[in-house]
Structure 1
Amino acid sequence: MRRTVPVRLGDRSYEVTVGPGVRGSLAEVVGRLGARRAVVVSARPPEWVPDPGVETLLLPARDGEQGKTLATVEALCGEFVRFGLTRSDVVVSCGGGTTTDVVGLAAALYHRGVDVIHLPTSLLAQVDASVGGKTAVNLPDGKNLVGAFWQPRAVLCDTDYLSTLPPREMRSGFGEIARCHFIGAGDLRGLSLTEQIAASVTLKAGIVEVDERDAGKRHLLNYGHTLGHALELATGFALRHGEAVAIGTVFAGRLARVLRRIDQSRLDEHLAVVRHYALPTALPAEVDPGLLVRQMHRDKKATDGLGFVLDGPVGAELVSDVPVDAVLRALDGMPRAPLAALVGAAASDAVPA
């Protein structure tokens, strides 16, 4: 079963294709673009990369936050120059969310923009990172602080790639799917994996179409991410992105409850959805709440005090200038568990059905 989701952005429109074997259409997509050369940046073995059908340079990449730096982007651009890549050619990413972000940013900057096609190989990248045109790298001071908006020309979400993922990497992707429950996707728990991916992408596409540059409604996609990003940094990325977002989603529900935006049953729903996907719901016991608050002040939504996307009577929305004492109460109300236990549980073989 294949699903095609259009992202309608005028002359920057493109399609996201989801299903088994869809990477086989890469040469067709490259041909439509008229590119004569391609640079493929892959964090996966060469046999995972389909033939683009043109002269190709294959460059290795490494998934993981440690490689998500400006130095990596500079190194890629240097390889583009040596290969003779022009603005009429194409760059292809093949890997997880880090590869998508780094390659997308390199494509956005090289010659002020060259076409990019994404072949996301992780669940997290298929449901979120590869779609919407956000590209960014980290600084020591925070996540995704340097980036650009650069829409891909196509996204090929081949679900065959997912059969090769370790259980923990699959679970991390479910963290992004879980948060979709609270920002308009509805209950996805009874759907097939392809349908869950397509539904998540459809939700994101609809939001991006009305707010490509993250000036308003696109904030909804950051549900659970404000605390999630802070947890990633505070744990030295011992928590995977989706695991941290899952904890952040539970926290968002608890903070909304502290602010009396939702009732207890809705808070319980946050817990139930995250637990369904076998994701963590507790804070790492070793992490100081004060450190988390300081880190959250650096979030891009914190333009007027602390800002969070929170559930409420009319659904999720951005809430600005949230009092620090309310944030601390919500953090204090969350269960705690040793980081080793959270990571160990995540590394188990159990994967949600």
Structure 2
Amino acid sequence: MIVVPVALGDRSYEVLVGPGVRSSLASVIPERSRRVAIVTQPELPVAVDPGREHRVFLMGQGEEAKSLATVEQLCREFSRWGLTRADTVVALGGGLVTDTAGFAAAVYHRGVAVVHVPTTLLAQIDAAVGGKTGVNLPEGKNLVGAFWQPHAVLCDTEVLATLPEREYRSGLGELAKYHFLGGGRLDELPLDERVASCVRIKAEVVGSDEREGGRRAVLNYGHTLAHALETAGHYDLRHGEAVAIGLVYAAELARALDRIDDERVAEHRRVVSAYGLPSMLPPGVDLDELVELMARDKKAVSGLTFVLDGPRGVEPVTGIDRPVLDRAFEAIRERREEPA
């Protein structure tokens, strides 16, 4: 087992990484908790035992379930069961569950403890760590939420073997991001160390900027276009697939701004391709719609804002003109051969 600390003063906690660590759940539940509400989804082939009275609360599948309606439903069910502010919520599932259950825990009784047991690669290396919770609106992804740090996170790598191939590959899209945030050649590490390395990078960034006042924005590398693609396509793309396209677009955008060279762009494409992920825009996408959606991104407080690679590393960049956006779009558009 690998233990990664997240240093946040009196809100510090540990992330446990390794096969079978979900069996440690009872030991990380706050002692004062008499009851545990386990939020999960139907047919998830993973179970946990918090070692005290507990009840399972189910939420729906798909991004449509990541909504304010689901948060209200969960909070009402918590109330009817008698969950108190001394008790604990356990989020058992992928990023959709940790984001939604984490937000419900943040607002129920103005905040109850939450422990995340992420069951997807994407959730283990990103969604479950760092305290960002939230749900979607029809106008965009993750537009309503709260910062609510978990009491602990259990990244059980054993459960990753149960994932469908596409779900696991989606997690690799988020993992690809960490290659460019100091992770180096993560693809050469064993799985447990790969997950732990990503968690360490995120923990270090979160520890220096808990509420995304500056540096934490780098964790959204590739996400500005990714979230727009997800919303425009009604979530036909998995999150990690959209992030992979977003990473290549960010590289092309950085090259168009003379921030990086051709070799660095090629490295982005190599990493994405090595994980079997897409690097081109889906056919038929409306560029005007994507630009409009990107303008609603939470980072966009003074015009379109992207996290881009450059001579000082990955950092937020604002004030990018539409012609530059279009040059980068052109570099990731599918080109069909004209008939002879």
Which of the five TM-score ranges fits, normalised by the shorter chain? Answer: over 0.9
| 1:119-142 CA distance string (max 9 Å, x none) | 000111001000000001000000
- For 1:38-187, list aligned pairs within 5 A: 38-43=36-41, 45=43, 48-187=46-185
With over 3 angstroms needed to count, the CA separation of the structure-2 counterparts of 1:337 and 1:239, relative to structure 1, is farther
1:207 corresponding residue in structure 2: 205
Q: How many residue pairs were aligned? A: 336
- For 1:327-346, list aligned pairs within 5 A: 327-336=325-334
Alignment match of 1:227 (pick from 221, 225, 228): 225
Instruction: Show structure 2 runs of 5+ residues with no match.
Output: none
Tell me how far apart the structure 2 counterparts of residues 336 and 19 of structure 1 sit (CA, whole Å).
40
Task: Give the secondary structure class of the aligned counterpart of 1:86.
Answer: coil
Task: Give the secondary structure class of the aligned counterpart of 1:336.
Answer: coil
Tell me how far apart the structure 2 counterparts of residues 334 and 48 of structure 1 sit (CA, whole Å).
38
| 1:118-177 CA distance string (max 9 Å, x none) | 000011100100000000100000010000000000000111111110000000000011
Tell me how far apart the structure 1 counterparts of residues 309 and 197 of structure 2 sit (CA, whole Å).
20
User: 320-329 or 18-27: which moved more?
Assistant: 320-329
> Does structure 2 conserve the Cα–Cα contact (< 8 Å) formed by 1:119 and 1:155?
yes
| 1:216-263 CA distance string (max 9 Å, x none) | 000000000000000001111000000000000000000000000000
1:351 corresponding residue in structure 2: none
Q: Give the letter for the 2:54 counterpart.
A: T
> Does structure 2 conserve the Cα–Cα contact (< 8 Å) formed by 1:42 and 1:49?
no
Tell me how far apart the structure 2 counterparts of residues 266 and 59 of structure 1 sit (CA, whole Å).
46
Task: Give the secondary structure class of the aligned counterpart of 1:183.
Answer: helix
Task: Give the secondary structure class of the aligned counterpart of 2:181.
Answer: coil
2:11 corresponding residue in structure 1: 12
- 1:49 offset after TM fit, Å? 1.9
Tell me how far apart the structure 2 counterparts of residues 109 and 34 of structure 1 sit (CA, whole Å).
19
- For 1:281-300, list aligned pairs within 5 A: 281-300=279-298
Q: Quote the sequence identity (%).
A: 57
2:2 corresponding residue in structure 1: 3
> Does structure 1 conserve the Cα–Cα contact (< 8 Å) formed by 2:45 and 2:162?
no
Q: Give the letter for the 1:226 counterpart.
A: T
- For 1:191-206, list aligned pairs within 5 A: 191-206=189-204
1:23 corresponding residue in structure 2: 22
Tell me how far apart the structure 1 counterparts of residues 37 and 211 of structure 2 sit (CA, whole Å).
27
Asked if 1:189 corresponds to 2:187, the answer is: yes
Tell me how far apart the structure 1 counterparts of residues 255 and 150 of structure 2 sit (CA, whole Å).
38
> Does structure 2 conserve the Cα–Cα contact (< 8 Å) formed by 1:306 and 1:324?
no
With over 3 angstroms needed to count, the CA separation of the structure-2 counterparts of 1:217 and 1:71, relative to structure 1, is same
Q: Give the letter for the 1:132 counterpart.
A: G
With over 3 angstroms needed to count, the CA separation of the structure-2 counterparts of 1:337 and 1:246, relative to structure 1, is farther
Asked if 1:34 corresponds to 2:32, the answer is: yes
Alignment match of 1:304 (pick from 302, 305, 308): 302
> Does structure 2 conserve the Cα–Cα contact (< 8 Å) formed by 1:119 and 1:158?
yes
- For 1:250-261, list aligned pairs within 5 A: 250-261=248-259
Task: Give the secondary structure class of the aligned counterpart of 2:271.
Answer: helix
Tell me how far apart the structure 1 counterparts of residues 45 and 305 of structure 2 sit (CA, whole Å).
44
Task: Give the secondary structure class of the aligned counterpart of 2:60.
Answer: coil
| 1:20-67 CA distance string (max 9 Å, x none) | 00000111112x432111100112547622211111111122342110
Tell me how far apart the structure 2 counterparts of residues 90 and 51 of structure 1 sit (CA, whole Å).
13
Tell me how far apart the structure 1 counterparts of residues 312 and 301 of structure 2 sit (CA, whole Å).
23
Tell me how far apart the structure 2 counterparts of residues 304 and 237 of structure 1 sit (CA, whole Å).
27
Tell me how far apart the structure 1 counterparts of residues 44 and 68 of structure 2 sit (CA, whole Å).
25
Q: CA RMSD in A?
A: 1.3
Alignment match of 2:313 (pick from 292, 312, 315): 315
Task: Give the secondary structure class of the aligned counterpart of 1:147.
Answer: strand
Tell me how far apart the structure 2 counterparts of residues 34 and 45 of structure 1 sit (CA, whole Å).
30
- 1:285 offset after TM fit, Å? 1.5
User: 220-229 or 57-66: which moved more?
Assistant: 57-66
Q: Give the letter for the 1:19 counterpart.
A: G
- 1:111 offset after TM fit, Å? 0.5
2:216 corresponding residue in structure 1: 218
- 1:335 offset after TM fit, Å? 3.2
TM-score, normalised via structure 1 length? 0.93
TM-score, normalised via structure 2 length? 0.97
Q: Give the letter for the 1:113 counterpart.
A: G
> Does structure 2 conserve the Cα–Cα contact (< 8 Å) formed by 1:282 and 1:337?
no
